[in-house]
Structure 1
């Protein structure tokens, strides 16, 4: 069977499906996977393995679409030569190849050196991570968040959280950018694809989302309902305005999937540029208690 046809069949789509249909289908399958894992926890690993095959199919289709786009560019570039288009392309590639042949050899040496250094660095990183204490909480900022200093280092955010929870030894933080959902910018579309793939592979304990990110995935099974906490230990710490609700797309029931923690002094201590902070707990996390503690203390520090 043709590999492209097989990939589309695995996605449950016809081969003439649009890019938007492909992305929507992948999002739906990811949501269904999380739902199945909740209903059948004993099959969670098997279901995850099945979804990984869907992810491979999705990435294969995207890569093939990129290849076709390159072919179309070549056609536009060399099509004017008509039946000699192939010869023109090969000639162009020939001169381009020898023009950069020497540079290519130098680059190859550089790549080999980089690989060797990367192997040593990877081994050193493995040893460093093995020497660290177990992770107490994994936090993902999902949306248009940025470091206050504009850099890429997330260590200051991790240190700020550890300072707030001195009983913890280690916190890891990641940032997953989600662009405006109504954007027509091709770069934003690519960033949305990247965010989707990150969500399908990474498993933080706590999501901190802005409004755009929550509207995208907040009620799709990624985070669990919080009614038990909202009506229990958090009851006296919350106002109705802090409840971030959503509709379960499977049965139409309404739930609280996150709470707004922006109006707290602890949130202001984080070196993060933000406009919304909706905190939700990942469905099935083994560090659920610590995720609850994080939210509880942020609510207690609300103004």
Structure 2
């Protein structure tokens, strides 16, 4: 890039010469976000060009002999990763600096996903599994596990898998584990918010409770009903199964209040392929 002056800096920032410091700062923020997905803009400028223009306009530009010497030595003896990628080591250093947060988050997400997959493969056997998912959170899963064991003495091995508020990549990893566990018949009861519950119900996640409604003993207003497609003709006409009970509203239950479960429109359902139906029914009775 040619010698940088204020006129050129305004051109690079795509600002008028009378732009204020506040306007320059806001523009720099917009441009740095833009460079998360590109290396050069439509005029051929890089993030480094943008940053130099910003620093000059804001009065931050100064000559740092020590830094220039450091960069010179870095270019003369580049690190292994720069040689492998065949990139300017100074630009590579700047890249890792500007995107370090995103790189760290991505690494953590990948490590977490590997850990989740590994835990599925090396899953410790237990007698009963409850998963808390979606916009519902458990303050202390060990407390809930102890409560269930006390109320269900015939079930000494109980595991509760909670969800946590996190970034989307973490949530995606948890969702992948949920799908894997459900397919492996490792989940017996799912507790989630009503919106997620209805989505999962349409995908066949839950067992219909109509035949055991009298055994469960909840009032009619506590049950959540849904419909399911049971057949589809060659012409695309669908046969809809009458509304059936798939879940129970438990936001006001003593179980939720006593065990620090937080969320709105909390709903519970028995997973359709559970191999522990009797224990699942026994647990659902605790949710009154």
TM class, shorter-length: 0.5 to 0.7
Whether 1:240 and 2:227 are equivalent positions in the alignment is no
Q: CA deviation at 1:143?
A: 1.9
Whether 1:94 and 2:89 are equivalent positions in the alignment is yes
Matches within 5 A, 1:21-100: 72-76=37-41, 79-80=44-45, 93-95=88-90
Question: Counterpart of 2:285?
Answer: 296
Whether 1:269 and 2:252 are equivalent positions in the alignment is no
Rounded Cα–Cα distance in structure 1 between residues aligned with 2:189 and 2:172: 21
| Aligned-partner SS, 1:252 | strand
Give the total of aligned pairs: 185
Q: Which runs of 5+ in 1 are unaligned?
A: 1-68, 82-88, 101-114, 116-121, 180-186
| Aligned-partner SS, 1:255 | strand
| Aligned-partner SS, 1:207 | strand
| C-alpha distance after superposition, 1:141-167 (max 9, x if no partner) | 12212233xxxx632322232232233
| Aligned-partner SS, 1:143 | coil
CA 1:259–1:201: 2 relative to 1, 3 Å = same
CA 1:279–1:71: 2 relative to 1, 3 Å = closer
Q: State the structure with more CA Rg.
A: 2
Q: Over aligned residues, Cα RMSD in angstroms?
A: 4.1
Q: Alignment partner for residue 175 of structure 1, among 162, 184, 193?
A: 162
Q: Which runs of 5+ in 2 are unaligned?
A: 1-33, 47-81, 96-110, 112-117, 231-238
| Aligned-partner SS, 1:202 | helix
**Contact (CA 8 Å) 1:223, 1:281: kept in 2 or not?**
yes
| Aligned-partner SS, 2:191 | strand
Question: Counterpart of 1:163?
Answer: 150
| Aligned-partner SS, 1:172 | strand
Matches within 5 A, 1:7-26: none
CA 1:71–1:140: 2 relative to 1, 3 Å = same
Q: CA deviation at 1:70?
A: 8.8
Q: Alignment partner for residue 199 of structure 1, among 140, 162, 178?
A: 178
Give the TM-score normalised by structure 2. 0.52
**Contact (CA 8 Å) 1:147, 1:154: kept in 2 or not?**
yes
Rounded Cα–Cα distance in structure 2 between residues aligned with 1:164 and 1:78: 69
| C-alpha distance after superposition, 1:49-68 (max 9, x if no partner) | xxxxxxxxxxxxxxxxxxxx
